[in-house]
Amino acid sequence: MIDPIIKVTGLTKIYNHTVLAVDHISFEVNRGEIFGLLGPNGAGKSTTIGMLNTLLKPTEGTAQIDGIDVVKEPSKVRRIIGVVPQEYTADEDLTGWENVMLIADFYGIPHDVSRQRARELLEMVGLLEASKRKVETYSGGMRRRLELAMGLINKPKVLFLDEPTLGLDVQTRTAIWEHIKKLKSQYNMTILVTTHYLEEADEFCDRIAIIDKGKIIKADTPENLKKSIGGDIITIQLATDGKEVDQVLKGIEGVFDIKNNGDGLLTLKVNDGGSVAPTIIKTFTQMNLNVARLTLARPTMDEVYMAYTGRNLREEQASSEETFAMRRTLRRARS
Amino acid sequence: MENERVNYGPLHGLWAVTNRELKKWYKEPFIFIISLVQPIIWIGLFGKAMNLGAIFSAGSLNIPGLNIPKQVIDGISQEVLKSTFGTTDYFSFLAVGMLSFIVLFSAMSSGMTIVWDRRLGFLNKMLTTPLPRGNVIMGKVLSSVIKALVQAVIVLLIAILLGLTFSAQLTIMSIVITFFALFLLAMGLSSLFIMLAIRSTRWETQMAIMNLLNLPLLFASNAFYPVKLMPSWLKPVVMINPLTYANNVARAMLIGVTPTASVAFSVIYLLGFAVIFSFIGIFLSWKYISS
């Protein structure tokens, strides 16, 4: 873990001399890592990705991808990255196959190589059969998988995924993530992903950076992030009213918050709930207290997000799905 | 990736961009046919329905009290037409003018594709690949030029069917020179209209620009009417308009009308127009195509 492929130092973007979208952020992404950028709309996620994939010029700061500076040598960076943007960018008037081959031509890949690779990729994302059809007949999930295949045609070292699962149903989202995971393990590809879906970030990212108002608030593994906001939650239902247990519980190491409402329901915040819970049961048994029920819950990313940004991402998730749906309608209105 | 034969030459991807646009066109026969209907209607309406030659030859022209023999009237009509249009055959005069017309209309819509590409994100997708920036624009120019020339060929064939009479001196070279002039015109006009669209995200703006420019460009040229009979304030505009020079070349080469500016000068003028505008187009695309 000492081999960062993406190095970002003091990266800043100010639009029109007034709007500060990204504010001196610095982070590193290690080779072969899935790195998630998590944050509300307008936090600067897409701007950050835009600067890294050479679409936007940083106002300040530097970024390197595999040792190549994105400002000084953008065309070299473009050769080793793949980009799957938030929008469906495939040309609707062409077939899936033609779209993949078109992007291959942009990368200057000779046709004998690109034909074989296009077949492999389309097979991998399960679109080989459909690839002879025009993209306008594809469903949302198929479109997203096609975008993925298009973003991979040059076997990129770093893949940028901007909201890869936005607006898709749960099964399709899982399928997309399966592909992403496969890529990571097969090609040791480094993946930088933005997402609104907390449970996805939690489950699939090796590390997550929480970004808000253009700044990285915290970057760590999902595990550590959850630990950092203060441990696990144990709820205990006692057979008795349990009014006398507070003092005892305070004596157990790892317990740091007790809520006892006097009818036998205890809610505890503890560090390392897995080892604290047995101790509690043992103590209670020695006191001849009957534990009717015990649950151990770990904090979710929702709570992590809430703790660091003071906001609830769920509501914003809904609003960006709405925006996305609107954009799709607009696209249809074209023809 | 390292040890692969990958072509990062300055022209790589140019044909891919070009062919993408062409595919959309030839794979949609409906759009293809629609794009041909307009010039055919114009040839029919202006060339046949408004045949200026018929003013004299319809037989009703006479002056009461004077019994002018028919030969005299015919003679006058021939001379009037000849001194006005350089030929006695207005239909042929107009049909050849339609070649630059179809090139103009074809080139004009090329700007639209870049507006849609920007709007739908395809442009950004292109810009994250190693595709050279200039090729994004040149591919579009090239596809527009090819479309324009194919349409010009079809218009010419239809005009022949409708009775276009070539000059007696017609050779293969005359046709080659004509299409070279049309090629240059298409190149310059496509670059111009793509340039105007390069920052635009609204197709309404692009439509407005097209509507603002199409008919003035057409009527302020010699497509329908000879320059020498135009009012003096209009003449300088007509003499700047590249359509005028394309018409000059086409008429001199195909139907033997003596041009107002020499064929050599007209071709050089068009060459300058094409080169300057495509260079500006490439330059602007490097500078302004990213948002």
A330 has a pLDDT exceeding 80: no
A241 has a pLDDT exceeding 80: no
Euclidean distance between CA atoms B146 and B184, whole angstroms: 11
* Domain spans, chain B: 15-53+88-288
Higher pLDDT among residues B17 and B227, named by residue: B17
- Say if residues A267 and A295 touch (Cβ distance below 8 Å): no
- All domains in chain A, ordered by first residue: 4-226 (3.40.50.300), 230-297 (3.30.70)
Give the model confidence (pLDDT) of B98-139 as tens digits.
Answer: 899 889 988 888 888 888 888 888 999 999 999 998 898 899
- Say if residues A89 and B121 touch (Cβ distance below 8 Å): yes
A312 has a pLDDT exceeding 90: no
Predicted pLDDT of residue A159: 94
Average pLDDT, chain A: 86
Predicted pLDDT of residue B58: 61
Q: Which residues of A fall within a CB distance of 8 Å from B121?
A: 85-89
Of A102, A157, A331, the CB nearest to B16: A102
Euclidean distance between CA atoms A212 and A39, whole angstroms: 6
Residues B193-206, mean pLDDT to the nearest whole number: 84
DSSP A72-102: T-HHHHHHHEEEE-SS--S-TTSBHHHHHHH
Cβ contact (<8 Å) for B128 and A113?
no
Give the model confidence (pLDDT) of A107-136 as tens digits.
Answer: 999 999 999 999 999 998 889 999 999 999
Residues A239-260, mean pLDDT to the nearest whole number: 80
Predicted pLDDT of residue B1: 45
Q: Which residues of A fall within a CB distance of 8 Å from B29?
A: none
- Residues in contact with A307: Cβ distance below 8 Å, sequence separation at least 6, in sequence order: A229
Euclidean distance between CA atoms A305 and A315, whole angstroms: 13
- Say if residues A51 and A63 touch (Cβ distance below 8 Å): yes
Strands A291-297 vs A232-238: parallel, antiparallel or unpaired:
antiparallel
Higher pLDDT among residues B70 and B22, named by residue: B22
Euclidean distance between CA atoms A214 and A69, whole angstroms: 21
How many residue contacts between A and B have a Cβ separation below 8 Å?
Answer: 90
At A21, the amino acid letter reads: A
Give the model confidence (pLDDT) of B58-99 as tens digits.
Answer: 666 677 777 777 778 778 878 888 877 877 788 888 889 889
Q: Which residues of A fall within a CB distance of 8 Å from B129?
A: 78, 103, 106-107, 154
- Say if residues B151 and B25 touch (Cβ distance below 8 Å): no
Specify the DSSP element, H or E, that contains A230. Answer: none
Q: B129 vs chain A: nearest CA distance in angstroms?
A: 5
B214 has a pLDDT exceeding 90: no
Residues B24-44, mean pLDDT to the nearest whole number: 79
> What ipTM did this prediction achieve?
0.82
Strands A81-84 vs A68-69: parallel, antiparallel or unpaired:
unpaired
Of B6, B12, B121, the CB nearest to A87: B121
Cβ contact (<8 Å) for A89 and B121?
yes
Strands A4-15 vs A34-38: parallel, antiparallel or unpaired:
unpaired
pLDDT band at A335 (very low <50, low <70, confident <90, very high): very low
Three-state secondary structure call for residue A217: strand
Give the model confidence (pLDDT) of A21-46 as tens digits.
Answer: 999 999 999 999 999 998 887 888 98
Distances (CA, A) of B247 to B95, B103, B181, B225, B239: 10, 11, 9, 11, 12
Q: Which residues of A fall within a CB distance of 8 Å from B7?
A: 108-110
Distances (CA, A) of B203 to B127, B206, B211: 21, 5, 12
A208 has a pLDDT exceeding 80: yes
At B155, the amino acid letter reads: V
Of B122, B130, B290, the CB nearest to A91: B122
Euclidean distance between CA atoms A267 and A260, whole angstroms: 7
Cβ contact (<8 Å) for B15 and A75?
no
Euclidean distance between CA atoms A149 and A168, whole angstroms: 17
Cβ contact (<8 Å) for B8 and A79?
yes
Rg of the Cα atoms in chain B = 22
The percent of residues in chain B predicted with pLDDT above 70, rounded, is 94
Predicted pLDDT of residue B2: 44
A318 has a pLDDT exceeding 60: yes
- Residues in contact with B39: Cβ distance below 8 Å, sequence separation at least 6, in sequence order: B98, B101, B102, B105, B151, B155
DSSP chain B: -TTS-----TTTTHHHHHHHHHHHHHT-HHHHHHHHHHHHHHIIIIIIIT-TTHHHHTS----TT----HHHHHHHHHHHHHHHHSSS-HHHHHHHHHHHHHHHHHHHTHHHHHHHHHHTTHHHHHHTSS--HHHHHHHHHHHHHHHHHHHHHHHHHHHHHTT----TT--HHHHHHHHHHHHHHHHHHHHHHHHHHTT---HHHHHHHHHHHHHHHHHTTTSSS-GGGS-TTTHHHHHH-HHHHHHHHHHHHHT-PPPSS-HHHHHHHHHHHHHHHHHHHHHHHHHHS--
Give the model confidence (pLDDT) of A40-91 as tens digits.
Answer: 878 889 899 999 999 999 999 999 999 999 999 999 999 999 999 888 899 9
Give the model confidence (pLDDT) of B232-279 as tens digits.
Answer: 898 899 999 999 999 999 999 999 887 778 899 999 999 999 999 999
Structure-block tokens of residue B193: 């209209």
B45 has a pLDDT exceeding 80: no
